[in-house]
Structure formats: C-alpha cells, structure tokens
Amino acid sequence: MKKMKVIVSLILTAAMVLGIFTITFAEENAGETEQIAVEGAPAAEGTTEAEGTPEVEGTTEGEPAEPGETPDAPAEGDDAQPSEPEAKPMGKYPFLSKIYERGIPTLTTRSFIIIMDTLRTIRYILTGRILTGAPRHFDVTVSEDVISICNAISDQSALDVYELITNLPDLTEPARIAAKVFQIDVTAYREKMYEAKDKYYEEGNGTMSNLCWLLGAYMSGIDSAYVYLEPKNDYYAITLDVKYSDGTMEVFHPDIYINPETGECFGPDNKGMMTIGFNCNAYEALVYAPISCWMKDFGFCFEYDLLTYILPVYRYQTRRFKFNYGEKEWMIQIWKGNYLITNGGEVGLYYREPGSKGTFYNVVNEADEMPMSLKIYHGSEILVDEPMQMHWWINGFKLGHRLYNPNSLYMEYSIQMRDEEMVKAFTAAIDANMYHDVTYTVDGLTVNCVWPY
C-alpha cells in the first residue's frame, strides 16, 4: 500500500511539472511564426539571414564591441584579424532551431510555488491529515521600499522575490511536535543556538552564524515576520522583526545591505549576502561572486564539474588551459551556460605545485590575482558586462525569462598577465587546447579572448 501511494504521488508530481512546463512554453511562444535558418543568435539590424551575426564596424583589434553589438571573433594568433563566427544551418529542424535561438522558459516563481504546495498537499493526503486543512504559509509582510527592490528583479526575470518570501511554507509543525514529545524548552534551546551564533559571527563564519539563528528560530516556531530597510550611512540593511509562537519578539539582521542608487545588494567583507558567496545587482538582475567568497577556500578540480554535469540544474561548457609559469602548474578555466535559473559565464585562476597528482588546483594567492574582465552575449543582447577588475574568479549570472543553449552564448574575456613569459605560456595553452574554438589577440600584457557560438 505504501509503495502504491509513493508511485501515485510521483506520477501526480511528474504530470504536474510537465503540465506547468508545457503551458509556460506554449504561452511564451504563442503567436510567433518566425523560422530560424541559422544556428546561433537571432539576427539584428545589418545582419543577413545567412550571416547570423550583426555587422560591427570600427572595432579594432583588442577593443571590445559596444553593448548591443555582437563582436567579431578574432582568429588565432597575436596579429590575426577578426572574422565572423561560421554559420551552421539548421533549417531542416525548425523547432530545434527555435529552441536553440530562443532557449527554453525558466521555471517561474508562481510555478515553483504551485509545485511545492502540490507536493505538500499530496503529503498531507498520503498521511491522512487532509481533514486538518491545507498547510498554511508564514505570515510575512514587506515594506514598500523592499517591494520596489523585489520588483526591479521580477520586471526582468521569472524570479519574483516578493511572491517567494510572502509564500514561504510554514514548516515549523515538526518542530512543535518534537518540542512537545521531547519536552524541549524552546526558549532555552534558542538561547544556546544564539550563543553559538554569536561565537561563529566573531570568528567570521557568517554562514554558520546564520544557520544557528535559523535553528533557534525554527525550534521556537516563527509566527510572523516583517521585512524592511533600516538606514545605515549611505546604504540600507535588510531587517526582520520576528514574532515567535510564544509571543516573544526579535529583531534580526541577515547581513544583506542595499545601495538604492546602484541597486547593489551585498554582504560584509566581500563575502556575499549572508556570506553565502554571492551578491547581486537588482537593477541589472545580475548575480556575481565577490572576491572573498567562501569558494576561494576550495580550489577547483574535474570532479566539481562532473558533479554539476550530473545535476539537472546546470548546463554549461568549459575549457581548461594548463601551462607552467613561475615554478607553478597553472590552470585558467572558463565556463559559459546555464546556472540554475540564470545564463552566464566564469573565468577562474588556479595553480598548484609542480608534479602534483590528480586534478585538484588551488585558487591563486592574493598576490597572484590579476585584472580580468568578462562579457557574455546572446545574439545582440549583452547579458553580462563585468569591467576590468582584480580577481581570481570573475563571473556573472543573468536572471531572465529563458535559459539559452550554451552553444548560443558568445563570451569575451580579458586577462592582464604578469609579464611576456606568462603571455606566451597562456596563449600557447590556448593554441594547444583540443577544441581549438577559443581565439585571442594580444595587447601588451593583456590577452583578449573570444569564445564564440
């Protein structure tokens, strides 16, 4: 009987997810009749159907194209002239061509909430608790200034932060049952968790600090919350007034700060919002990792990519350029594609001691970080535009309404090398790469690279 219930619930869930995707895809493609004859990006003004990329005039070697233009791809070699990416006809498969050009719909917040509510309702049916009523949501209210920041993101993407935080499911029922069965003093438990929270915060471990707060708050049973902005000099801090089931109140600061002029949402010490490793720009709907994010301590290896290939929420391409320089084995790795509900790309700097075994590389030390820039295009639309800055991992992930095929993304990046020896070593590694699809030009110590469609 239990197996039958599980099978039924899985079938219902799969049908629901498929239905939501089908409806979303149909709605977003309704009324469109254009056919794509060329693999790659949609044609813009000044572009013929056979070319597939816009004409860009006046762009010199090593000079990035202006936003809104699709740059030419330079051929390999220091002094090579740029050339357009080769068009690959796909007229034989118009439906696949359309998907290639336009991508697939991103999961919307509303669809995600429907899925989660349906799963919880199925669980209530299978456990015989449907007569107690549908599971409720937390009572969360949000100030107008926070709503405006949320709207800036939802206007550009399928992510509706306001709808998400005001529809958080109330999952504190197990905590209430556990507290009653095991006679847990939730107030004392919360105090212990908060002691641990303060200890981790003093040690600079914001992630564990926030986790301890969540555990303490969860066991106490959150009844309601009010989210608003609190002035802090030239920026604002996200603040929560939390009310617990026992009637007690608390003010919580989750380490999320906002500059209302620029739209930057950031955390302390260049570690990301809530020290999760990522900041975002609400006005650009762009997520990016600051220089001191926690990922810096974990280096990189092939196994990381292997894990993400297995997960269904990532779909990207990557290239590794390995070379010896300065008594180190270097690896500069690049990525472009889909990350959860975003499109974007990355450039990372890594090295290790000569003769090291395996695939693991450390992140370069602070003294070996280098100026880098990054641009990601989809056709004539520029998704990511990170200017030249000192970094070890420059990246950008654009929220939007669709996920594009990694092959349809055009990537430009520049790295200012330490000296000519490093320039020669890096460009030789590009030339030797088995794919031969990344080209470059050299401007002094700066290597300007293009990874085309």
Task: Specify if 152 maps to a domain.
Answer: yes
Query: Is residue 446 located within the same domain as residue 304?
Result: yes
Q: What is the pLDDT along the chain (453 residues), one digit of tens a residue?
A: 444 444 444 444 444 444 444 444 444 444 343 333 333 333 433 333 333 333 333 333 334 444 334 444 444 444 443 344 443 444 556 666 677 678 899 989 999 988 888 887 787 777 666 555 556 677 899 999 999 999 999 999 999 999 999 988 777 777 777 788 888 888 888 889 999 999 998 887 877 888 898 888 888 888 889 999 999 988 999 999 999 877 889 998 889 999 989 999 999 999 999 888 999 999 999 999 999 999 999 999 999 999 998 988 899 999 999 999 999 999 999 999 999 999 999 999 999 999 999 999 999 999 999 999 999 999 989 999 999 999 999 999 999 999 999 999 999 999 999 999 999 999 999 999 999 999 999 999 999 999 998
* Structure confidence by residue, pLDDT tens digits, 27-77: 444 434 333 333 333 343 333 333 333 333 333 333 444 433 444 444 444
Query: Is residue 316 located within the same domain as residue 406?
Result: yes
Please choose, from the candidates 74, 12, 112, the residue with its C-alpha nearest in 3D space to the C-alpha of residue 441: 74
Residue with tokens 């450390």: 362
Query: Is residue 262 located within the same domain as residue 302?
Result: no
Task: Specify if 154 maps to a domain.
Answer: yes
β-strand partners of 286: 281, 398
Query: Is residue 261 located within the same domain as residue 371?
Result: no
**Dist. CA 161–CA 151, nearest whole Å:** 8
C-alpha separations of 308 from 56, 122, 362 in Å? 36, 30, 19
Task: Specify if 116 maps to a domain.
Answer: no
Q: Provide the pLDDT for residue 128.
A: 66
Query: How open is the CA angle 11-17-22, to the nearest 5 degrees?
Result: 120
Query: Is residue 377 located within the same domain as residue 250?
Result: no
C-alpha separations of 36 from 33, 203, 384 in Å? 10, 56, 25
**Dist. CA 162–CA 429, nearest whole Å:** 47
Task: Specify if 289 maps to a domain.
Answer: no
Q: What is the largest CA-CA distance in the chain?
A: 76
104-105 and 257-258: which strand pairing?
unpaired
Domain count of the fold of the chain:
2
Query: Is residue 326 located within the same domain as residue 386?
Result: yes
CB-side neighbour CA atoms (13 Å) of 326: 16
Query: Is residue 415 located within the same domain as residue 344?
Result: yes
Residue with tokens 């572009």: 47
Task: Specify if 92 maps to a domain.
Answer: no
Of 222, 247, 266, the last residue of a domain is 266
Q: Provide the pLDDT for residue 65.
A: 42
Residue with tokens 């233009």: 69
- SS3 call for 405: coil
Q: Answer whether 175's CB lies under 8 Å from 218's CB.
A: yes
**Dist. CA 108–CA 324, nearest whole Å:** 45
Of 224, 251, 266, the last residue of a domain is 266
Q: Provide the pLDDT for residue 265.
A: 97
**Dist. CA 289–CA 276, nearest whole Å:** 9
DSSP single-letter state for residue 151: H
Q: Provide the pLDDT for residue 218.
A: 83
Q: Which DSSP helix (H) or strand (E) runs through 211?
A: helix 206-220
328-339 and 342-352: which strand pairing?
antiparallel
pTM to 2 decimal places: 0.77
- Supply the DSSP string of 343-376, one letter for each residue: EEEEEEEEEE-TT--SS-BEEPPGGG-EEEEEEE
Of 221, 246, 266, the last residue of a domain is 266
Domain that holds residue 145: 136-266
Task: Specify if 34 maps to a domain.
Answer: no
Query: Is residue 442 located within the same domain as residue 358?
Result: yes
